[in-house]
Amino acid sequence: MTAQEILESLKARFGDAVLDAKVEGVPDPWVKIAPARLKEVCLFLRDDGEMQFDLLMCLSGMDYRGGKLGVVYHCDSTVKHHRIVLKTEVTDADPHVASVESVWKTANWHEREAFDMYGIVFEGHPDLRRILMPDDWKGFPLRKDYQVPEFYNGMKVPY
Amino acid sequence: MEATMTQPTTIPGLSRALKTEEMVISMGPQHPSTHGVLRLELVVDGEVVVDVIPHIGYLHRCFEKHCEHMTNYQQVIPYADRMDYVAAMSNEFGFVVACEKLLKIKVPERVEYIRVIMAEFSRIVSHLIAIGTYGMDIGAFTPFLYCMRDRERVLDIFEQTCGARLLYNYMWIGGLSHDVQPDFAAKVKDFCRYFRPQIKELNDLLSYNKIFIKRTANVGVLPADVALNYAVSGPVLRGSGVQWDLRKNDPYSVYDRLDFEIPVGKGLKGTVGDCWDRYMVRIHEMEQSVNIIEQAVDKLPVGDVASAIPKRIRPDAGDIYVRTETPKGELGYYIVSDGTATPFRVKVKSPCFVNLSALPAMCRGAMIADIVAVLGSIDIVLGEGDR
């Protein structure tokens, strides 16, 4: 399916959950989904006979500056050979996104990483804790407004 | 978890049932046969592993944070080298391909062919280390020395080309740092002639060794559907019998003009997707890499390797996800540009990170001694997993 057809299909089925999209003139066509509806959209993308997105290539946390955080999902189908990018946006005051761990197991660690680096909370994730940073680290290092702390457990951080 | 636990047993002559409970063992933060600094938390019931919880991050060097603080894109490449330090060429290859697609640069044919040769050499180097250390994990010391000996020959070719043996900074956006030396083609062909019989020797030494097969066949089986759901890639995915290689399925550079096959696991010694299959895919991939290198050297066109290197790198605002097939699997770069010379965001989808996340699925129900066999068969480099 082309990106345009995927977009039409998503619009027909989920209507108001599709907030925005760009499928032409970009290297990777994308669709913006409301954060709370994300899981059902992903389930549909994985299980529908026409879609069959069985591979979640990448899941990236984002900070778009100005208190806007986001998550980007790169989906691929090894059967149908088409791909689509899902984007979702939340505010840093309420950074809650539905977890897709139960849809694609690979999201487990990727979501933990996005939580670790951006503080995005994935609702329904079975084991949401830091993965790369130490457990007692304060703050979310990849946020654009992050200040590197002077000390960590008495050790000087900037070298 | 309850179902896999041993039920209390009554022993004749003993009035009460024996109390059994699970035990938590911490393996690491060094040991798991020192493929890197990693800690595995094992939940065991006697000798049987009920669950494995990997703890990573000991080698986290803030690659993505560093990228956002560079003054230009070119400065990222030495850092990309240091992710998977045994196959640095493949890492920079992925990054430059992504940047070139973002900048819409067309690179000269000669550059593409040299890159492919280098990437395939780095696949051989990485697989030699994977195979050698895997033998060592299981108790075979000699194959490791043979592998390191052959690896040196490839490193000599790298050194002759760009002066470095491990971390190259060789592929630049739009070109290469140096052209190859005049006797490059002869040396490459020499190596190919030398290396083919070595693969056979490795097979005799290790692959078809009875003890090795006993330790790896039917161990750590990963079914194809689980493998896809975990999005594992590279030899781990192909070991499970899935014919998926980005060099064929999502071709980049000049791979579509070269003739090679994609080996998959067939379960010859046990079950499809066991450790032996994953191991054997690497052996066959080395054979295919030699084929690719020979073809590419024959086709190597003349040209200038620096003609397309842009003076200033300032991509238009936008984002791109580009994936390439490294020795470990699918290495993806998600690059977001805001129109300035500094990347707004670089996210790395690291194959080791993803493959390691599937470790619990492979290990549940195995013996403690098998954990090291399974971990070695994934071939992780934590420099890339932790970034």
Minimal CA separation from A101 to chain B, in Å: 10
Contact between chains at A142 and B242 (C-beta distance less than 8 A): no
pLDDT digits (tens, 9 = 90+) for B209-257: 888 999 898 888 999 989 989 999 999 999 998 988 999 888 888 898 9
Find, among A58, A56, A34, A48, the residue nearest to A5 by Cα: A48
Per the CB < 8 Å rule, is A109 touching B354? Answer: yes
Can you read off the two tokens belonging to residue A17?
């959950």
pLDDT of residue B380 exceeding 90, the answer is: no
B347/A60 CB distance under 8 A = yes
- A89 CA to chain B: closest CA distance, Å? 15
Structure tokens at B112: 């593409």
Cβ <8 Å between B229 and A57: no
Residue B116 reports pLDDT greater than 90: yes
Kindly identify which residue of chain A lies nearest to residue B384, measuring between CA atoms.
Answer: A132
Residue B371: left (phi > 0), alpha (psi -120 to 50), or beta?
alpha
Two structure tokens written together for B355: 């493959």
Mean per-residue pLDDT, B59-88? 88
Tally DSSP H helices, then E strands, for chain B.
15, 8
CA distance B148 to B144: 6
Count of beta carbons in the 10 Å neighbourhood of residue B237: 32
Q: Phi/psi at B383 (nearest 5 deg)?
A: -60, -30
Query: Which amino acid, one-letter code, is at A131?
Result: I
Tell me how far apart the alpha carbons of residues B163 and B140 are, in angstroms, rounded to a whole number. 33
Q: Do A114 and A120 meet the contact criterion of CB atoms below 8 Å apart?
A: yes
Q: Is the pLDDT of residue B119 over 60?
A: yes
The residues on A that touch B, with CB distances below 8 Å, are 26-28, 54-58, 60-63, 72, 74, 78, 81, 85, 104-106, 108-109, 117, 130-134, 141-142
Other beta carbons within 10 angstroms of residue B362's beta carbon come to 29
Put simply, the answer to whether A27 touches B102 (Cβ < 8 Å) is yes
Minimal Cα–Cα distance from B5 to chain A, Å? 22
Q: CA nearest B115: which of B234, B253, B308? A: B253
C-beta atoms surrounding A93 within 10 Å? 7
> In this model, does residue B4 exceed pLDDT 70?
no
Q: Among all chains, which residue has been given the structure tokens 């980005």?
A: B246
Sole residue written with tokens 């190597």: B300
- Closest chain B CA to residue A143: B65
Backbone phi, psi, residue B277, to 5°: -60, -45
CA distance linking residue B319 with residue A62, whole number of Å: 12
Mean pLDDT of A33-46: 88
Q: CA neighbours within 13 Å on the CB side: how many for B329?
A: 31
Which residue of chain B has the CA closest to A116? B57
Is residue A1's pLDDT more than 90? no
Nearest to B352 by CA among A81, A132, A102: A132
Q: Which two tokens stand for residue B43?
A: 């939940």
Find out whether the peptide bond into A158 is cis, omega within 30 degrees of 0. no
Closest Cβ–Cβ partner in B68, B242, B334 for A72: B334
Question: What is the Cα–Cα distance from B343 to B323, expressed in whole angstroms?
Answer: 18
Instruction: Choose the closest CB to A105 out of B229, B320, B330.
Output: B229
- Pairing type for strands B23-27 and A155-156 reads unpaired
Question: Which residue from A27, A54, A60 is facing B320, i.e. has the nearest CB?
Answer: A27
pLDDT of residue A65: 87
**CB-CB: which of A63, A85, A132 is closest to B56?**
A132
C-alpha distances (whole Å) from B248 to each of A42, B114, B156, B264 are: 27, 19, 29, 13
Residue B122 has pLDDT above 50, yes or no: yes
A36 Cα to chain B: minimum distance (Å): 22
Helix axes B109-138, B368-378, angle to 10 degrees: 170
- The pLDDT score that the predictor gives to residue B1 is 47
Say which residues have a Cβ less than 8 Å from residue B211's Cβ, sequence separation at least 6.
B138, B139, B140
Nearest-CA distance A110 → chain B (Å): 8
**Under an 8 A CB cutoff, do A104 and B65 touch?**
no
For residues B155-174, give the mean pLDDT: 90
Contacts with B321 from chain A: Cβ below 8 Å: 28, 57-58, 74, 85
CB pairs under 8 A between A and B: 80
Q: What amino acid is encoded at B230 in this protein?
A: Y
State the pTM of this model: 0.87
pLDDT tens digits, one per residue of A71-128: 999 999 888 888 899 999 999 888 999 899 999 999 999 999 999 999 999 988 998 8
Average pLDDT, chain B: 87
Q: Do B242 and A54 touch (CB under 8 A)?
A: no
Return the percentage of chain B with pLDDT > 70, whole number. Answer: 93
Q: Which of B331, B352, B384, B318 is nearest to B94 (CA)?
A: B331
- Report pLDDT for B317: 85
Listed in sequence order, the residues at least 6 apart from B143 whose beta carbon sits closer than 8 Å to its beta carbon are B131, B132, B135, B202, B205, B206
Share of chain A above pLDDT 90, in %: 23
**Which residues lie across from A60 on neighbouring strands?**
A72
pLDDT: which is higher, B185 or A159: B185
- Interface predicted TM-score (ipTM): 0.90
Find out whether B120 and B292 touch, Cβ atoms under 8 Å: yes
CA angle A148-A152-A157, nearest 5°?
50
**Contact status, residue B57 vs residue B43, Cβ threshold 8 Å:** no
**Kindly report the CA angle at A59 between B91 and A28, in degrees rounded to 5?**
80
| pLDDT value, residue B284 | 93
Q: Phi first, then psi: give them for residue A68, nearest 5 degrees.
A: -100, 120
With vertex at residue A30, the alpha carbon angle to CA A27 and CA A32, rounded to the nearest 5 degrees, is 155
Judge whether B357 is closer than 8 Å to chain A, CB to CB.
yes
Q: Which two tokens stand for residue A51?
A: 């879609």
* pLDDT above 70 for B135: yes
**Whole-number pLDDT of residue B61:** 86
